[in-house]
Amino acid sequence: MTEFWLISAPGEKTCQQTWDKMNMATSQTNLSTNHKFNIPELKVGTLDVLVGLSDELAKLDSFVESVVRKVAQYMADVLEDSRDKVQENLLANGVDLVTYVTRFHWDMAKYPIKQSLKNISEIMSKQVSQIDNDLKARASAYNSLKGNLQSLERKNVGSILTRSLADIVKKEDFVLDSEYLITLLVVVPKTSYPDWQKTYETLSEMVVPRSTKLLFEDQDSGLFSVTLFRKAIDDFKHKARENKFMVRDFQYNEEEMKADKEEMTRLSTDKKKQFGPLVRWLKVNFSEAFITWIHIKALRVFTESVLRYGLPVNFQAMLLQPNRKNVKKLREVLQDLYKHLDSSATVIDASMDIPGLNLSQQEYYPYVYYKIDCNLLEFK
């Protein structure tokens, strides 16, 4: 499972004892794989500040998680055909997410522990808001480029009733620069080829005899050229439609066709140029956002543990990776182990709003508990 439970319990005689007791109760029966989760000695501040901070951190946690997921999902969208490569690019500090979480160490350079908890949380919030704004701008530019390219590409595929004819027809297929004559392009169902050959010269007056030529076929129809006098165009189109032959609205214009091709080449080149830097930006900023997210979880455990277990600071944070088959049993074992910490925990109503205890967002247990889910992608 890529799901972790980050919990804390008060230190018994020593914090090591708390760890040993939990580890013994869960890992020997294969309920979970456990790791110590190291949180440094942070500045506690006043109780009032902690209560307020606890609420703010809950909001910050869900905001940062949403940004982490957005960056991961956008990486999957950008990598289009190589989605199996997405996971390789979703790293934190150069290692896979499970490794990063299980070997978590507080980054002292980024988040100096001499600063107040409020300051640290504000640094985190600013950082991730910046990533969120940058992502919106970059995604919008790249998506617009990709959208324009796709709509041009769509014109070059599909039925000859609707697709662009620029790469199908050649200059020599047309009578050009004639005051009197014009070449039309007609789509004829394959089953009606014999009818077309028999009737096209008589669909209207002034059709040039033996002027039809098959230029292209798809699986249903063929594209024929036919030359006639300009003054007969309307009559010819009308009669063609009655016979289920469809005249395409097309005029051969070399300049226009060249411009379309150049536009497509330009968009395709621009997309390739932007692709590399965009993937690099996503990798770097995914790592930044994910690392910040796990630091926020650490801040929440610290704040909540102090609020629940009191001062001096004395608790052990522990990371459990539940065995998928034993999730229910693991909950029961932890309940037995820690029910003495809060006798009301089993009956507390999650809709009650107790400041500092964020019950509305979270299941409530007698021990501090937060979930970390490293499975960040929803493949469509």
Residue-averaged pLDDT of the chain: 91
pLDDT for the residue 83:
65
Strands (E), the chain: 3-10, 32-36, 181-189, 213-217, 221-229, 246-248, 315-322, 368-373
pLDDT for the residue 120:
97
Helix (H) or strand (E) run with residue 66 in it: helix 47-78
Q: Across residues 160-169, what is the average pLDDT?
A: 88
As a residue count, the chain comes to 380
Sort strands 246-248 and 221-229 into parallel, antiparallel or unpaired: unpaired
Question: Is residue 378 pLDDT above 80, yes or no?
Answer: no
Cα distance between residue 303 and residue 297, in whole Å: 10
Name the burial class of residue 209, with classes exposed (0-12), middle (13-18) and buried (19+) by CB atoms within 10 angstroms of its CB. Answer: exposed
The residues pairing with 317 across neighbouring beta strands, listed in sequence order, are 8
pLDDT for the residue 80:
82
Closest listed residue to residue 247, CA positions, set 221, 270, 278: 221
Cα distance between residue 296 and residue 107, in whole Å: 12
Which tokens sit at 335? Answer: 């309940």
In the chain, where the domains are located: 3-150+269-345+358-373, 171-251
Cα distance between residue 8 and residue 298, in whole Å: 10
Name the burial class of residue 24, with classes exposed (0-12), middle (13-18) and buried (19+) by CB atoms within 10 angstroms of its CB. Answer: exposed
Sequence-distant (≥ 6) Cβ neighbours of residue 270 within 8 angstroms:
145
3-state secondary structure of 316: strand
Cα distance between residue 139 and residue 133, in whole Å: 10
Question: Is residue 81 pLDDT above 70, yes or no?
Answer: no
| pLDDT tens, residue by residue, 43-65 | 998 889 999 999 999 999 999 99
Question: Is residue 197 pLDDT above 60, yes or no?
Answer: yes
* CATH code, residues 3-150+269-345+358-373: 1.20.1460.10
Q: Do 3-150+269-345+358-373 and 171-251 share a fold?
A: no
Question: Is residue 261 pLDDT above 80, yes or no?
Answer: yes
Higher pLDDT, 336 or 81: 336
Q: Across residues 159-171, what is the average pLDDT?
A: 89
State which fold the 171-251 domain adopts: Alpha-Beta Plaits (3.30.70)
**Cα dist from 108 to 40, 64, 112, 113, 209, whole Å:** 9, 20, 5, 7, 87
Question: Is residue 247 pLDDT above 90, yes or no?
Answer: yes
Global pTM value = 0.81
3-state secondary structure of 226: strand
Residue type, 332: E
| pLDDT tens, residue by residue, 300-343 | 999 999 999 998 999 999 999 999 999 999 999 999 999 999 86
Closest listed residue to residue 209, CA positions, set 218, 201, 198, 197: 201
- 287 and 93 in contact (C-beta within 8 Å)? yes
Closest listed residue to residue 293, CA positions, set 56, 44, 39, 65: 65
Question: Is residue 101 pLDDT above 80, yes or no?
Answer: yes
- 26 and 333 in contact (C-beta within 8 Å)? yes
Sort strands 315-322 and 368-373 into parallel, antiparallel or unpaired: unpaired
pLDDT for the residue 2:
87
Contacts of 173-178 with CB under 8 Å at 24 or more apart are 173/213, 173/215, 173/225, 173/252, 174/225, 174/252, 175/227, 176/252
Which tokens sit at 275? Answer: 């692709």
pLDDT for the residue 28:
78
pLDDT for the residue 363:
75
Question: Is residue 352 pLDDT above 80, yes or no?
Answer: no
3-state secondary structure of 225: strand
